[in-house]
């Protein structure tokens, strides 16, 4: 079974530029997550999709970050304009879980995109 795919793997941009990341989840996984991981910290959830609907985006800086999951499969995360503090690894994860489930929700991560903002 293929895992979560992400691209690009690395990106270097200057502040105020824009950047986009792409994610393809594990086949059949209804839920897709975008995390931001800053060096030395655990992953922080930015946005969670159930199929193509947003479940939680409470920690997404909506003035500069946007995400979509058209057709309930692939997803893109965009930053515009980027700031120095956006330098981090952006991780995409997916899981089978649907609403109402209280046990489980095993999430599987893609390789991540390392973003450097200069």
Partner 1 sequence: QKEVEQNSGPLSVPEGAIASLNCTYSDRGSQSFFWYRQYSGKSPELIMSIYSNGDKEDGRFTAQLNKASQYVSLLIRDSQPSDSATYLCAVNRRMNTGFQKLVFGTGTRLLVSP
Interface residues toward partner 1, by CB under 8 A: 31, 33, 40-45, 48, 50, 55-56, 89, 91, 97, 99-112
Give 65 or 110: the residue with its C-beta nearer to partner 1. Answer: 110
Nearest approach, Cβ of residue 16 and partner 1 (Å): 27
Say which residues have a Cβ less than 8 Å from residue 43's Cβ, sequence separation at least 6.
Answer: 35, 36, 37, 91
Minimum Å distance from CB 99 to partner 1?
A: 5
Least distance in Å: CB of 26 to partner 1?
A: 12
Which of 90, 85, 96, 81 shows the shortest CA–CA distance to 111?
90
Residue 18 or 105: the one with the smaller Cβ distance to partner 1 is 105
For partner 1, the closer CB: 17 or 52: 52
């Amino acid at each position: 079974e293929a895992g979560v795919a992400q691209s690009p793997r690395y990106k270097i941009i200057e502040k105020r530029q824009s950047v986009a990341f792409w994610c393809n989840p594990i086949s059949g996984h209804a839920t897709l997550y975008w995390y931001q991981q800053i060096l030395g910290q655990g992953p922080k959830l930015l946005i969670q999709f159930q199929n193509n609907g947003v479940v939680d985006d409470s920690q997404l800086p909506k003035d500069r970050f946007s995400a979509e999951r058209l057709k309930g499969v692939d997803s893109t995360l965009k930053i515009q304009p980027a700031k120095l503090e956006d330098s981090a690894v952006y991780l995409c994860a997916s899981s089978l879980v649907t609403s109402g489930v209280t046990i489980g929700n095993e999430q599987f991560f893609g390789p991540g995109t390392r973003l450097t903002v200069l």
